[in-house]
Chains A and B, each alone.
Chain A
Amino acid sequence: MPSHTFQLNGETVTVDVEDDVRILWVLRDILGVTGPKYGCGINVCKACTSHINGKAFNPCSVRVADIKADDEITTIEGLADTAPGDGLHPMQDAWLEHDVAQCGYCQPGQIMAAVALVNKVRAEGRAINEADLDTIRNVCRCGTYSRIREAIKTGQEAMAKGL
């Protein structure tokens, strides 16, 4: 059984699993990290959105063998630790402020996508606009889309202040 090592939420983990198992199942079924959700398995619903080296990715569509030992994977469970201070990540705070979640199933993925989008847009030296928000592909079957848009605008401001 091949052995695979990578960085997960700030810790080094090693798992013994076949090369072609997708990261989502390594996280959920082997490591018991259940924040990233299954919604399609083909990279279209985005419920499993997490970060790799600070960028959004979908672990349902990446083989564990394609991850290097120094690759840093962050799931919703580790997001708060990537922000300054002891509390939540400012985007999580924004989600609470706007009471975005309904059933909550898609929300870990939504938040991870939102943080990555804000970082991407900021790197381009501008603020989020409606067209940027339209590019978010994460499905929310409860239909919380309008609250997600509002929360991202709030979260963006807090992230810019370095909260």
Chain B
Amino acid sequence: MENHPTEGPSRVSRRSFVGYVIGGATLIAAADLGLTPEAAHAAPIPSVPQVPEVYDLNDFLTHCTLPTSNLIAIEIDEKGHAHFALPRMEVGQGITTAIAMLIAEELDLPVDHVHVTLAPARPELLFNQLTGGSNSMISMYTPVRVAAAIARKSLLEAAAILLGTNVAQLVAKGGVIGLPDGSSVTYGEAAAKAAKPKTEKVEVKLKKTSDHKVIGKPHRRIDALEAVTGKKQFAMDVDVPGALPTMVCRAPELNGTAHSINNKGEVLKMPGVTHVAIIPTGVAVRAKTFGQCIDAVRALDVTWNSGTVTTKSAKDIKAELKAGQIPLAVPKIGATSVDGEFTFHFRSGSSLEPNCAVADVRDGKATIWGGLKSPVTAQEKIAAALGMLPTDVTVNVVQGGGSFGRKLFFDAALEAAHASKAFKVPVKLMWHRADEPRQGRVHPMAVSRVRATVLAGGVLTFEQRHSSVATDFTHGLGERITAEAAALPTGLSNLTFSETIFMLATELPYNFGVVTQLLNEPKPAVDRFNTSSVRNIYSPDVATASELMVDQLAEKLKLDPVSFRRKYLKSDTVRRVLDRAAEIGGWGKKMPAGTAQGIAIHKEYKGATAVLVEIDCRPETVNREVRDAVTGPRVTKAVVVADVGLVINPAGVKAQMMGGFSDGMCQALTYSNHLVDGHFLEASWDNSAYTRQWNTPFEFECEVMESHGSQPGGVGEAGVAASMAAVACAYARATGEMPTEFPINFHEPLHFEPKSFIPSVPESPTDGLAYTF
């Protein structure tokens, strides 16, 4: 960090770092969260004008005067186990497992002796407590290892005193420190001795990558046993006394608000119901069970105010986006131009765990429990909404049931706070599933226009104009962005935040002469639609459009898609993953008519991904029947090859690639929200056609390549873009028609009867016993 206090820890040499042993009764080793192994960052970082609104320079300076304000700490207990409260959010992406592996590696401790929990909101970390942009492991890799190394060094020094020897004679292994003569002490015994009365500065060397025994080896998720036994706790499983189920009755139009309740007295008399009140997003109902909340929401008679996109439909938004598009610079020149225009419809970012949070707002204090990826911003904004100081709001972070960008926001936590304040009792607030696609955060709709010029057997220009519904980034900003305003190349500072993110994330790794890729948001207001940077915000759509065009260019220049990409790629990293995917997937093999292979690449997050798929578009497959389901073309085989930089947990990386593939495939084929007359039609998993087993490839293979990188790259989002693009390319090759609207089934007749908007949620069926198996 640029403005780091001079007394703060710093880097000494390539593998040497300085941290602290914190004074106290137990051994606590700490390192600065701003530690990075490189003097300069690879990526230029933009300025963000909005920061002072939530956290000003004075706040920052105040915190900088605290010498240990930016520290993360590992504590060793009397059993010799390590404890670490991670200032990030686990939503299934596997970072708690990867962090435990880093600590185990540097401490020479078994992974199951490392306990990683999620830290509550720590405002002193400034913006260094935001989980997003696939940045967690990149930013935590060095500081966590430094803290663990300091703990190990302190334990060895204490053991040397206990055993009457010097550190050089000692060997630490599996939580025990021993001498060659067999005498030994455990980490637990050494920990008590290693505690320091006062905070001390310590210099340590990190292990060499070649000495790593844990990092780089596949490791099962540390919460796997809890997950398969039903013991893993999510926000709605937390037992907060008195926090009764609460749901919200929402307006028929997107973002409509409640004007008045016409039958409050009757609803309050319904079985189980305890409270009913208007909150900013609708009418909140609290009851003994969620089932009774659902009944009450259905019974409510509310007069509604209109929403934010009254009467608008998808075609209106498309017209807006096209009208506001930045013009292409190169004119259309007869047969030398290759043009394409692609539309990407809204899609829900909903995870399987609905938006939910527990809140207890009483006596001028508030406590929140929720799956929150930006808890510091949540704390600030909830305090402002309740008219409290941030110090009166405690935000506890609970593991989340998926996120995909959704949990960057704290919509349910804010609603729960409002409801608890109105009711003066604790609430356990959960969204009904029907509200998730209809009123929850969505991936913004976009139109991407591409024009390339081909002349004399080569590609001279490649222009892409991506026109998008505005993406909401008001959840707070990542530390790399806020901390490094000084590193800004000139000219970036006048871009909007979205444009800056787009510019930093979008890269076309081909030698296509003059290349420009530009984003604009014709209507920049973020309160019309509820958007968020759903898993890998711009890249899947941008890559799908550009990779389809790359296949067009290959055809025009009479080259095979793989040969063409090999010829024009400017990155060896991308070429390696492409070659490997082509090799594993048997690129070029003969396929029956109506089926085809497709291949696509993507470069982002310091790494690269190549995906090869086989798709079956024959009528007997497309028209196969599954009850209440969307079938259509089937991807029968998928190969994902990724270079993600230094790999901490290969099993975790592969899991992220499989998940990224599931997202990318359905975004190409089946998954969207239909905007009609001011609201989205989709209202549950029977309407939103996310990937299901009947869409899943029969064969899936993922290879994580040995990387030349020495730092971990991001993996949570890296698999989506090339997957979506490869499926689109395969579909084009199988059918002979390049798709231009995504998902490809968007204009087919709806596969469902839209559920009612009043009442806003469906009744739970009672015939479940007719479907047992």
State the A residues within 8 Å of B (CB).
17-18, 20-22, 24-26, 28-30, 32, 34-45, 47, 52, 55-63, 66, 75-77, 80, 88, 92, 95-96, 99-108, 111, 116-117, 120, 130, 133-149
Contact = CB atoms under 8 A, between A and B. Distances in A.
Nearest to A102: B92
B229 A63 contact: no
A40 to B, nearest CB: 4
Given A22-B291, A88-B229, A61 B433 contact: no
A49 B433 CA distance: 17
Interface in B662-718: 662-663, 684-686, 690-694, 696-698, 700
From DSSP, what is the main secondary structure of chain B's interface residues?
loop
A28 B292 CA distance: 13
Contacts of A28: 236, 290
B416 interface: no
B430 interface: yes
Nearest to B723: A143
Contacts of B387: none
Interface in B524-551: none
B691 A25 contact: no
A143 B658 CA distance: 7
12 contacts: A17-B289, A20-B291, A20-B766, A22-B766, A32-B239, A37-B353, A40-B686, A60-B764, A62-B769, A76-B228, A138-B693, A139-B690
Given A42-B764, A136-B693, A146-B697, A141 B354 contact: no
Contact of B691 (A26, A35, A143): A143
B227 A101 contact: yes
Interface in B719-773: 761-762, 764-769, 771-773
B666 to A, nearest CB: 9
Given A21-B292, A116-B773, A61 B767 contact: yes
Given A105-B351, A137-B692, A145-B696, A41 B92 contact: no
A55 B773 contact: yes
A152 to B, nearest CB: 10
| B228, B237, B350, most chain A CB atoms within 10 A | B228
A51 to B, nearest CB: 9
Contacts of B271: 18
A106 to B, nearest CB: 5
User: Which 4 residue pairs across A and B have the least CB separation, nearest first?
Assistant: A143-B662, A35-B230, A103-B92, A105-B401
Contact of B768 (A25, A26, A59, A133): A59
A44 B764 contact: no
Contact of A142 (B659, B684, B700): B659
B220 interface: yes
Nearest to B218: A99
A146 B700 contact: yes
A137 B663 CA distance: 17
A21 B694 contact: no
A56 B655 contact: no
A63 B289 CA distance: 13
Interface string B623-667: 000101000000000000000000000010001001111110000
Given A56-B773, A142-B402, A108 B658 contact: no
A103 B351 contact: yes
Contacts of A144: 655, 658-659, 662
Contacts of A148: 693
A159 B677 CA distance: 52
B628 A44 contact: yes
Given A76-B230, A99-B651, A40 B433 contact: yes
A146 B654 CA distance: 11
B766 A56 contact: no
A39 B764 CA distance: 12
Contacts, number: 237
Contacts of A76: 228-230
A151 B230 CA distance: 17
Contacts of A39: 352-354, 433, 685
B288 interface: yes
A41 B765 CA distance: 8
A4 to B, nearest CB: 13
Given A39-B433, A96-B224, A52 B659 contact: no
Interface in B218-242: 220-221, 223-234, 236-237, 239
Given A21-B272, A21-B289, A25-B291, 12 more contacts: A22-B764, A38-B354, A39-B354, A45-B352, A56-B772, A57-B772, A102-B93, A102-B402, A104-B226, A105-B92, A116-B773, A117-B773
A38 B401 contact: no
A45 B232 CA distance: 19
Contacts of A52: 769, 772
A10 to B, nearest CB: 15
B223 A29 contact: no
Contact of B693 (A40, A77, A80, A145): A145
A143 B773 contact: no
Interface in B254-305: 271-272, 288-292, 294
